[in-house]
Amino acid sequence: MQDSETKGEITVVTENRKRDLIKNIEKLEAYQEIQNEMGRTVAAFNFRQADRVLSHFALNQADVSLEYADEGVFEGKEAVETIVNEVVGAPQKPGEMLDIQLTTPMIEVAGDLKTAKAVWWCPGGGAIANEDSDPDAIWAWGMIGADFICEDGEWKIWHFHYFRYIKCLYKKGWVEDTSMIHRLNTPVHPMAKPTTYHNPYSPLSVREAIPACPRPYEVHEGNSSWMLEKDKTK
């Protein structure tokens, strides 16, 4: 009888370990695919391929969103498509360039394997074209916070937020040149909702730990408020 009970306990433990192992493997696979998905998205952005950028967004989700620096929040399929086509799909001028890189990935896949939260640091550089002179080299550094959702076995960007931290002329640096850290003094895009957070570097600013690093979680709460969480004990 004791041998039978012992075998039963071993079987339960073995099945639990097998289930946990399978789940961990699935999380690792999701982590790798999410890494690649964001890499493909940023590569498409750098090469000004609007259609490819959009192909990585979960456009079937009613609350799919894109927030860029202080340009506002673009929520819903039409708004996301509009701003990506206007910015990424705009004709490129000779000498114009923006090249964003991805570093320091922090990715948490949900316990239910349906969603994920992620943050990347994004060092970058570029060049602003001028009509009557050589292009101006610039620094463009920031962070990306993103929610991903798995649709029919494919990971897609659900909520995307680019946090601008540095944008300045290369020859002047971010302490001297603060002329580009805020949006141009033009009307806000008619499809944009108010910006949720914008705190770029300036000699007068104090840096906050935003976006927050994603923490382990079981089920997604349905919004991207975790990115702006200042209480690091949660």
Domain ranges of the chain: 2-228
- If one counts every other C-beta atom within 10 angstroms of the C-beta of residue 28, the result is 11
Phi-psi domain of 168 (left: phi exceeds 0; alpha: psi -120 through 50; beta: other): beta
Name the DSSP letter for residue 90. Answer: S
> Residue 232 to residues 40, 167, 200, 229: CA-CA distances in angstroms?
31, 27, 21, 7
Q: Angle CA(160)–CA(165)–CA(170) in degrees, nearest 5? A: 125
CB distance 169 to 138 below 8 Å:
yes
> pLDDT per position in the chain (234 positions), as tens?
445 555 555 565 688 888 889 999 999 999 999 999 999 999 999 999 999 999 999 999 999 999 999 999 999 999 999 999 999 999 999 999 999 999 999 999 999 999 999 999 999 999 999 989 999 999 999 999 999 999 999 999 999 999 999 999 999 999 999 999 998 877 889 999 999 999 999 999 899 999 999 999 999 999 999 999 987 666
- Give the pairing type, strands 73-75 and 103-109: unpaired
CB atoms within 10 A of CB 58: 23
CA dist 158 and 220 (Å) reads 12
CATH of domain 2-228: 3.10.450.50
Eight-state DSSP code of residue 92: P
Contact 160, 73 (CB under 8 A): no
